[in-house]
Amino acid sequence: MPLSFRSADDFDWTVRKIAVVGPGIVGMPMAAMLAHARVCEGVGRPAPVMVVQRDSPTSGWKVGAINEGRSPIGGVEPGLDEIVGESVSAGLLSATHDASAVADADIILVCVQTDKKGFGPDYGPLMASLEGVAAALRDRPAGNIPLVVFESTLAPSSMATVIRSHFAGRGLVEGRDILLGNSPNRVMPGRLVERVRTSDKIVAGLHPLTPRLIARLYSRIVTEGTLHETNSMTAEVVKTLENAYRDVRIAYSAETVRYCDEHDIDFYALRDRVNELLAQSDHASADPNAVPSGGMLVPTVGVGGHCLPKDGILLWWRAIESGLDTSRSLILGARRVNDESPAATIALAERTLGPLEGKAVAVMGAAYRFNSEDTRNSPSLVLARLLLGRGCRVTVHDPFVKPGDQNLLRLGLAGHFTNDLRAAVSDAAVLFFCTAHRDYAEGRLVMLGQAPRLEAVVDGCNLYPREEFTGGRPGYAGIGRGQQKPSREFVEFVRAGFEAVERGVANEVQGLLQFLNTHYAGEAFGRVAYEDVQRLAGTCVTGCSLASPGSVAPAVSWKGFTPCLVALAAGA
């Protein structure tokens, strides 16, 4: 009997095999680290790990790569290739296209990407993968009670509704035939293995036993972080809120920097002073390759990636579906502010450098984040299309992104793209730096020397200090690069605005929790307490310091400037 439990504290568990569905940036490190850890639970030999990857045109090749001992993850991922190779050589890691391989697994990790569609989750790929998992588990050996753990980001209530009912509809009743848990991955491309090992991780479930089981398993790979046990809906809220609140703080910086840039105020001096007053500082003002974690975050050409643009909408999904008023939502308002950033970058450029129409411009960096090939929701590509719309002759460059990249093709930019740096800059009058790739940081002088027609540089990613462009040619415009030190009164105005925004988010989240608990917390164990959300979000390594709910003072303006997020917080 691989799992028998009398209570959440009294159980016998045998783990003979682990399966991982979806060897992407979440599943591949998890599979390799569990295999490498030699998990011996209730048996005298390590549990082998089987990766399942459907035989799709774009990803089916990963099975062969893994079985040859190679990680299918692109970019630079320290430590991952080594543990994949070692585990495959030891016969403890393998891969297959066949989903029925999960039938005899005692633990199944589901690491399939989720997305948004309109104002709700897009679970298409996830549910497609669960068809195979449920069919296989229906034929599982008698008496097995497999544990299925979702590492994917899920909209609050999904575990208790969509996921639970999917398995129940196939004869697998949660708590009797199967245990359903979730542990949303806090992945960071470029640090995949390190993040799993060192970051705190939330482990959750629908049944009280489940977090205990996941914690016991994950304690073998999360060796420097802390495992926090809770229920599924709390984990769903914390994960989506971490990203939503990050999006809000970037939006508050974006609104503030637009005012600063119009009045030649040094935004970064302001940011560092305000964060010091908030006791939420970081080193990101001086380092374009830092992962910002302070209170006020860093305003750039825009917010891309697969997470921040979608998770606030996932958090609001059930409330929007029920028709709740969204007009005063800071989380949804922040999305609008951040989506304006590419256009705001062009406005800054034209204010400083004159009209761009008809000029040859190069967009430097197609990826949404530095030293990465990932173009999902990349603001650089939005900027490129806006520049085309203004009659510019546009080239898009990136050292990592592939010419056949799906988003380049989808947005009609493949014909404007090159990996050749010299070709990208040779004819350009203006260079827009959108992604802080190391090639741009290290090769500035050589690169500018290859641009004989260069008139100006626009810095949209905190890449270059203004002092590096003092000679007057090329001209320089940088987001946040005003030259006047902020007054003490303006610092105080911005700090007070930040505290209004953080209070506004707290009030908004408290309202969402009341809604979710009323409609989706079936039993006491499933309820979400704001204090738990605050405590668990505070374990996010990139900073998520939530305020407590409370009253917000009426919004005031500074010489006519009132951030819309502050107005929303005061109005809510």
List contacts with ligand SAJ (CB under 6 A).
Answer: 153, 186-189, 242-243, 246, 250, 291-292, 297-298, 300, 303-305, 307-308, 368-369, 540, 542
d(CA 114, CA 90): 32
Query: What is the distance between the alpha carbons of residues 228 and 122, in angstroms, rounded to a whole number?
Result: 27
**Is the Cα torsion angle 11, 17, 21, 22 positive or negative in sign?**
positive
**Burial (0-12, 13-18, 19+ Cβ within 10 Å), 515:** middle
Give ∠ CA 258-263-267 in degrees, rounded to 5. 60
Cis preceding-peptide flag for 156 (omega within 30 of 0): no
Q: State the minimum distance, in angstroms, from the CB of residue 251 to ligand SAJ.
A: 10
Query: Which residue, 178 or 308, has its beta carbon nearer to ligand SAJ?
Result: 308
**Nearest CB to ligand SAJ, comparing residues 8 and 564:** 564
Q: Which is nearer to ligand SAJ, 291 or 572 (CB)?
A: 291
Query: Residue 95: helix, strand or coil by DSSP?
Result: strand
Smallest distance from ligand SAJ to CB 543, Å: 8
* Integer angstrom CA distances of residue 47 from 99, 106, 196: 18, 10, 19
Task: Decide: 249 and 340 in contact? Cβ < 8 Å.
Answer: no
DSSP symbols for 23-46: -STTHHHHHHHHHHTT--BSSSSP
Rg (CA), the chain: 25
Q: Of 3 and 202, which has the nearer Cβ to ligand SAJ?
A: 202
Q: Which is nearer to ligand SAJ, 41 or 255 (CB)?
A: 255
Give the CA count within 13 Å in the CB-facing half-sphere of 190.
10
Least distance CB 93 / ligand SAJ (angstroms): 23
Q: Which DSSP helix (H) or strand (E) runs through 231?
A: strand 227-231
- Give the residue with the Cβ less far from ligand SAJ, 75 or 511: 75
In the complex, what is the shortest distance from the CB of residue 374 to ligand SAJ, in angstroms, rounded to a whole number? 8
* Minimum distance from residue 250 beta carbon to ligand SAJ (Å): 5
Helix H segments across 474-572? 488-520, 530-537, 564-571
Residue 412 near residue 388, CB atoms below 8 Å: no
Cβ proximity to ligand SAJ, 189 vs 526, nearer residue:
189
In angstroms, give the least distance from the CB of 122 to ligand SAJ. Answer: 16
Query: Cβ atoms within 10 A of the Cβ of 357, count?
Result: 10
**Using CA atoms, how far apart are residues 296 and 524, in angstroms rounded to an integer?**
36
CB of 239 to ligand SAJ, least distance (A): 7
Do 434 and 365 contact (CB within 8 A), yes or no? yes
Look at residue 476 and give its three-state secondary structure: strand
**Shortest Cβ distance from residue 74 to ligand SAJ (Å)?**
14
Give the nearer residue to ligand SAJ in terms of CB position, either 59 or 539.
539
Min separation Cβ 188 and ligand SAJ, Å: 5
Nearer to ligand SAJ, 112 or 297 (CB): 297
Write the DSSP assignment of 152-210 as a string of letters. Answer: S---TTTIIIIIHHHHHTTT--BTTTBEEEE------TT-HHHHHHHS-EEEEESSTHH
Nearer to ligand SAJ, 334 or 516 (CB): 334
| Closer to ligand SAJ by Cβ: residue 26 or 457 | 26
Indicate the burial class of 466 (C-beta count within 10 angstroms; 0-12, 13-18, 19 or more): middle
**Residue 78 vs 171, nearer CB to ligand SAJ:** 78
Nearer to ligand SAJ, 335 or 369 (CB): 369
Least distance between ligand SAJ and beta carbon 92 (Å): 27
CB 178 within 8 A of CB 159: no
> What gap in Å lies between CA 339 and CA 382, rounded to an integer?
9
Least distance in angstroms from the C-beta of 240 to ligand SAJ: 9
Sign of CA dihedral 434, 440, 444, 448: negative
Q: How far is the CB of 451 from ligand SAJ (least distance, A)?
A: 24
**Least Å from the CB of residue 372 to ligand SAJ:** 8
